[in-house]
Amino acid sequence: MATATEERHPHTASRPATASGRPSATRTFPVRKVSVDYDKYAEAHSTGEQAWLVDNDPIFSSLLATLSAAFPNGEDFFVASVRRHRHVVEDNPYLKAQVRAFIGQEALHGREHRELNARLEALGYPTERTAERISRACDRILAMKPKTLALAVTAAAEHFTGIFAEAAIGDEMTREVLFADPELQRLITWHALEELEHKNVAFDVLTAAGGRYPIRALGMIVCIVMLASIITVDSAKGSIDRRDQITRSHRRQHLRNLRRQRLLSGWSLRKLLTYFKPGFHPDDTDTDALVDEWRVRLEPHTRIVSSA
């Protein structure tokens, strides 16, 4: 018999794993819209110390703006790489439905971050510069051979976003330090929830397409060299461009924030390196309890637009 929670939130109901033992093999998840007041957010960060996205920390502010700038064109790339391999999941109804929901979720992630990025650009963060660089890199990756390489890069990037997502919704201090603004926190936690819901999809499509360990590992290397490097360089450049505004107090605050959050930490690095284990699968980290918790917490701020 279904529990009361399962009746109210049908997508939180657990399904039995397949013979592979992977919970994600039969997982379903919806596509949601989130309610965020971007104008209110921009107004709150238009003057004084509040102009920094992270309170009193221009360095982390630059990183968050750069990450947001990278998302829309990055999400478009993820969708394109998965979509051109949809034929390999035709005989797997669960994965086929997951691919459809993945595409819907990523499309809305891109749209919401474009809304945010327009405000960040107006606040002086060079989001358009980063977006263009990411777009060019993604176009180059899509043109590489074999075609499964782009899918392998997407699977690797989804491992990155899964780690960031787990940090964002799994660690209260990370949210307090980096996403204290309620509008930004709503956007980030919604995005993080859905990243954890579909964290297996690109990986499982890659497996179905015949992508073995060498192409998977190469995908992570290409992801780091061609995509993560852009975020690293542009984030640093954003801080350097504003170096005249960065005080000793800002630097001290940044060092304190580094110790208090998980986004950039040894915890994240250790999780990142697990991707290179030959038998790795995204389900190796059980995030189902986090997903169930945040589905309920975000329900007042989201609206389901389609269900798998």
Q: At 23, is the pLDDT very low, low, confident or very high (cuts 50, 70, 90)?
A: confident
| Residue 287 pLDDT grade (very low, low, confident, very high; cuts 50, 70, 90) | very high
Tens of pLDDT, residue by residue over 79-94, are 999 999 999 999 999 9
C-alpha to C-alpha distance for 248 and 150, rounded to whole angstroms: 43
Q: Say if residue 207's pLDDT is above 60.
A: yes
Residue 117: CA atoms inside 13 Å, Cβ hemisphere, count?
22
Show the DSSP H helices in the chain as ranges. 4-8, 38-44, 58-83, 93-122, 127-142, 148-170, 172-178, 182-197, 201-208, 213-223, 229-241, 248-260, 266-273, 288-298
pLDDT tier, 50 (very low <50, low <70, confident <90, very high otherwise): low
Q: Report the pLDDT value the prediction gives residue 2, as an integer from 0 to 100.
A: 38
In this prediction the pTM is 0.91
For 235-248, write each residue's pLDDT tens digit.
Answer: 999 999 999 999 99
Q: Which fold has domain 46-306?
A: Ribonucleotide Reductase, subunit A (1.10.620)
Candidate from 18-22, 143-147, 213-217, 252-256 with smallest mean pLDDT: 18-22
Average pLDDT, the chain: 93
Banded pLDDT at 8 (limits 50, 70, 90): very low
Q: Using 50, 70 and 90 to split pLDDT, how confident is the model at 64? A: very high
Per-residue confidence (pLDDT) for residue 296, from 0 to 100:
98
